[in-house]
Amino acid sequence: MKQDFSKDGNKEQMDKARKNLVYVSMFSIIMLFAGLTSAYIVSMGDSFWLKFTLPSAFWVSTAIIAISSVCIQAAVIFAKKGNLSAMKAAISITLVLGLAFVYFQFKGYGQLVDNGVHAVGNHIIVTDGKYGDYFEVKYKGDFIEINGNDFLLKGQKMTDAELKAYQNFMSQFLEVDEKKPFNVKQYGDDFELYFLNTPLKLVNGALTSEEDGELKFLDRVRLKDLAVNVRDQRGDFFVKGTLGKDFHVYYKGKELQYKNRELQMNGKKLTNYLQIKSMEAADTASSYLYLITFLHLLHIIVTLFYILKLVIHSFSGKINGNENLTLQMGAIFWHFLGLLWLYLLLFLLFIH
């Protein structure tokens, strides 16, 4: 029987071209993330920068993608040996593990949000509704104070019951209407508001000061912003926790401290200019973290559709001992995404 060498040659060239396409895609992705991580470092160099612990779910997803990489490589080995049953199982497990990776990534984003770390819109330091700028609150005759993100009463951290009562009181001010005052139902028994060091009275259902009269709309908006901060247990920082323990703030690569509600460097108060600049500083670090990890996640999700196709082809017989190039290409790309995630995680761990 005469062999068709031209057909075999064309197939070999096509297979080589398909593999090269995978390598080109990998190179393009490398350049994309190299640019993003470089931009991260450049942006960090001359600005205020927030650093915090990565969510635990990211570490779980790292273990998952490592195991999935072993599984898809096992599928390639099984395919070459003609063990199709084991190949089908290995590819299917890879798909399930890939979906688990996606789940834990989103769980990690949820943990970040719970800790006050958002993708966009936040500053490092609270500015709108900052306690003490316009409003202060007395609880049973004593002023509530702020130390970082701690709510204090008589110099001691408020108990859970006291904080809950404070949140319930402030919840009256979460909705603001330009045409009518707040609907205040509880006032004066335990809690009393001070506006610009002047106590507010409840007159005909409206918060009123002796000097300025009924609280203006703009000031009601400011009170609403404070109520939001109290609801979210936010003191002077958007991210939850204690500065120096749960999160860190840097300026030009040097770690800052916080004392008397002001930033310090090496024990010395920052200049007024830098204090103002710190309040205007956006939380660029968190935005970069979301951008970098979510772009990687998008590549994972798209590749999972390809792995789903591999699962279908394995059960339909299109992938076997002789025809398994698509499986090999999928494995190469999946290994690459796993290594890329490991690089990004280490980058964020040691740089972020």
- Contact call for residues 33 and 344 (beta carbons, < 8 A): yes
- Contact call for residues 236 and 146 (beta carbons, < 8 A): yes
Q: What is the pLDDT of residue 323?
A: 79
Q: How confident is the model at residue 291 (pLDDT cuts 50, 70, 90)?
A: very high
DSSP 173: G
Q: What is the pLDDT of residue 86?
A: 96
Q: Is the pLDDT of residue 1 over 50?
A: no
Q: Is 168 left (phi over 0), alpha (psi -120 to 50) or beta?
A: alpha
Q: Is the pLDDT of residue 5 over 50?
A: no
Mean pLDDT of 57-65: 97
Helix (H) or strand (E) holding 338: helix 325-350
Q: How confident is the model at residue 120 (pLDDT cuts 50, 70, 90)?
A: confident
Start-end of CATH 1.20.120.80 domains in the chain: 14-121+284-350
Q: What is the pLDDT of residue 210?
A: 84
Alpha-carbon span 183 to 173, nearest angstrom: 8
Q: What is the pLDDT of residue 10?
A: 72
Q: Count CB-CB contacts under 10 A for residue 297.
A: 19
Q: Which residue has the higher pLDDT, 139 or 267?
A: 139
Mean pLDDT of 331-349: 96
> Token digits for 11?
């197939």
Task: Tell me which residue of 79, 149, 148, 153 sits closest to 319, measured CA to CA.
Answer: 79
Cα angle value 195/199/205 (rounded, 5°): 90
Q: Is the pLDDT of residue 14 over 80?
A: no
Lowest-confidence segment of 28-32, 184-188, 285-289, 345-349 by average pLDDT: 184-188
- Contact call for residues 50 and 320 (beta carbons, < 8 A): no
Mean pLDDT of 45-66: 93
Alpha-carbon span 147 to 261, nearest angstrom: 7
The values of phi and psi at residue 11, to 5°, are: -65, -40
Task: Tell me which residue of 280, 298, 283, 269 sits closest to 105, measured CA to CA.
Answer: 298
Q: pTM for the whole thing?
A: 0.86
Mean pLDDT of the chain: 91
Helix or strand or coil: residue 54? coil
Mean pLDDT of 116-121: 87
Lowest-confidence segment of 55-69, 103-117, 156-170, 254-268 by average pLDDT: 254-268
- Contact call for residues 174 and 228 (beta carbons, < 8 A): yes
What are the DSSP calls for 63-132, one per residue? HHHHHHHHHHHHHHHHHHHT-HHHHHHHHHHHHHHHHHHHHHHHHHHHHHHHTT--SSS-BSB--TT-TT
Alpha-carbon span 212 to 201, nearest angstrom: 12
Crossing angle of the two packed helices 56-81 and 325-350, in degrees rounded to 10: 160
Alpha-carbon span 7 to 4, nearest angstrom: 6
CATH value of 14-121+284-350 in 3.40.50.720, 1.10.3720.10, 1.20.120.80, 1.20.1070.10: 1.20.120.80
